[in-house]
Structure 1
Amino acid sequence: MSAAVKYTLGRIGLFTVVLLALWPVELNIFIKLMVALAFSAALSFFLLRGWRDEMAEEMAVAAERRQSEKERLRSALAGDDQTDSTSGPDAPPADRPRR
């Protein structure tokens, strides 16, 4: 399971727990929801730190991978990268001349 899914489920779980703890309190439902949202956000800052850091690391790796792929494609489109255009699946075999 990805770190983003774990962190999101953790946030939803904390919100649900806090809301259920506030359920017997005599307050307007909107006040209960707002208090549950605020307390669950504060709790998640401390309790879900590991999952949040793991998610941030996964996002940084994905962003770096996208950036390097973008640079590779730009250089290929500009004609700077000759190896990609001659080694693809549609390229003719190296031992036969082109017609």
Structure 2
Amino acid sequence: MTRPLYQLKAEFFKTLGHPVRIRVLELLSEREHAVSELVAEIKIEPANLSQHLAVLRRAGLVTTRKDGSAVHYSVTSQQVSELLAVARSILSGVLFGQIELLQDLRSS
């Protein structure tokens, strides 16, 4: 028995529901990164980052490449980057609307 699409979508968005995972995807949307680069950029413990990367990998959002002892991560699809850009656009619109409302309230 298959699960309804709305449940799969909810699980997908749950995967994205952590700030560290969003930041990882933002960085990987720019270019491939070694784990050591991600640790330095995000400033979390390597074990914690590893858990988040495992969640993203299981969801099929990131892939790995070994280069000697270094592991490099990249997004699996340009659509991941596009999704983050759409989210940013939506949030910008919402925040702009709130700013306008605040200005209206202040001028009343």
TM-score by length of 2: 0.32
Which one scores higher on RCO, CA 8 angstroms, separation ≥ 6? 1
Higher strand share: 2
Going by fraction, where is helix more abundant, 1 or 2?
Answer: 1
TM-score by length of 1: 0.35
Q: Rg larger in 1 or in 2?
A: 1
